[in-house]
Amino acid sequence: MPSPLDLVFAALADPTRRAILSMLLEDDMAVTDVAAPFQMSLAAISKHLQVLAAAGLITQEQRGRVKWCKLDPDALRAASVWMQGFGQFDPVDLDAFERFLRHELPD
């Protein structure tokens, strides 16, 4: 079974999942709203969301008939702590991470 850290880095390796995280920096979103900007099926987006949830990067909850997604940055903190162990990386600044994602993934 992969470690939690392996799951985080595997989830971050995909550009679609990074784009989803960037979108969720703004606010919680319904799954259908997450899927809207992508040229893929709702089932494909759901698989990406499952990977992000398994990595602990997002949480999902049912509100009425709508499933909502919310960013959970704790998994990013764990990855940051791991990278700090190499002494070459500064702590993850989530604001800087957001700016980076906005630059890399323009609207």
Query: At 80, which helix (H) or strand (E)?
Result: helix 74-84
User: What pLDDT is attached to residue 88?
Assistant: 60
User: What pLDDT is attached to residue 91?
Assistant: 63
Dist. CA 101–CA 80, nearest whole Å: 16
Tokens at 36, concatenated: 């809207």
pTM listed for this prediction: 0.77
Q: Give me the average pLDDT of each 10-residue run along the chain (107 residues).
A: 89 94 93 96 96 96 95 85 70 73 71
* Amino acid residing at 99: R
Domains of the chain: 4-102 (1.10.10.10)
User: What pLDDT is attached to residue 107?
Assistant: 59
